[in-house]
Amino acid sequence: RASSSESRGALIVLEGLDRSGKTSQSSRLLSYLEGLGHSTELWRFPDRSTSVGQMISAYLSNKSHLDDRTIHLLFSANRWEKRVTVEVSLYKNFDYQKFQDSNELFSRSDGFTQISLMETQLKNGITLIIDRYSYSGVAFSSAKGLDIEWCKAPEVGLLAPDIVLYLDIPPEKAAERGGYGGERYEQLEFQRKVAKCYQAQCDSSWKVIDACQPIEDIEKQLQDAVLDHVTDVCQPIEDIDKQ
Ligand code: 2DT
């Protein structure tokens, strides 16, 4: 992929156990960045709006039952369909004209046009905040006992985040917070395993934030953590690679 020295949007990922506060903190971060004048969008995975997302949603609410590897690959496919999409016109802020000549658009033999959506959004200067990403995929599936390298394989080639913000909460504390919603994975014993599998992926590039602090303190720390990453982002967009 041609690298560009032009400033682009940042890819910011929030991760953490269920009830760690990711979703409300993602919204606060969105307001903060918009307030600073950055074009920003909030995405989440699973994206339950697509047909793959609906299969995932049925699985999570125990309406369907799938083999561990099958659901793992569906979660990954759900990220891939936002990485490369053929539904160009559905996305807000998407300037089709501007990208018509760019190498991010591909004409396919079936006559449809395909686009590297995430990449184009970033190059269009839009910062993406993503509530859960590949690390959830690997943590939740390897917590079931699947080999971690097998779990990582379908993530290779998705875009690598500029920063991973991990909201760190002991599983017991998370369970005390207003109860789980009753979806498939919302059980203390399983969340304990997931926490270990997150730890196995955490490296020095992650920003770990204590999610037991008051909401406003967490909010401030997230703001400080992203500030460097959203101004004049010039490093090339990288893919997740084999590690
Ligand atoms: P939400 O409650 O945040 O909608 O998450 N999950 C998520 C996986 O097992 N694999 C994945 O790749 C992703 C993104 C985490 C729904 C549940 O789905 C799990 C919780």
40-80 pLDDT, tens digit per residue, is 999 999 999 999 999 999 999 999 999 999 999 999 999 99
- For ligand 1, whether the C-beta of 140 sits within 6 Å is yes
Q: What is the pLDDT of residue 60?
A: 98
- What is the Å distance from ligand 1's center to 6 Cα? 34
- What is the Å distance from ligand 1's center to 137 Cα? 7
Beta strands in 89-134 (DSSP E): 105-107, 113-115, 127-131
- For ligand 1, whether the C-beta of 43 sits within 6 Å is no
Look at ligand 1, atom 9, and give the residue with the nearest C-alpha: 140
Asked if residues 115 and 99 have their Cβ atoms less than 8 Å apart, the reply is yes
Distance CA 193, CA 83 (A): 29
Structure confidence by residue, pLDDT tens digits, 102-161: 656 676 666 677 788 899 899 999 999 999 999 999 999 999 999 999 999 999 999 999
Asked if pLDDT for residue 4 goes beyond 60, the answer is no
Which atom of ligand 1 lies nearest, measured to the CA of 140? 9
Q: Is 95 exposed, middle or buried (0-12, 13-18, 19+ CB in 10 A)?
A: exposed
Q: Which of 90-99, 203-212, 217-226 has the lowest mean pLDDT?
A: 90-99
Asked if pLDDT for residue 94 goes beyond 80, the answer is no
- For ligand 1, whether the C-beta of 45 sits within 6 Å is yes
Give the residue among 243, 155, 230, 160 at the shortest CA–CA distance from 200: 243
Q: What is the pLDDT of residue 182?
A: 86
Reported confidence tier of residue 89, pLDDT bands at 50, 70, 90: low
Q: What ipTM was estimated for this complex?
A: 0.99
pTM: 0.92
The preferred substitution site among 80, 132, 144 for testing ligand 1, maximizing ligand atoms within 8 Å of CB, is 132
Tell me the backbone φ, ψ of residue 81, rounded to 5 degrees: -75, -15
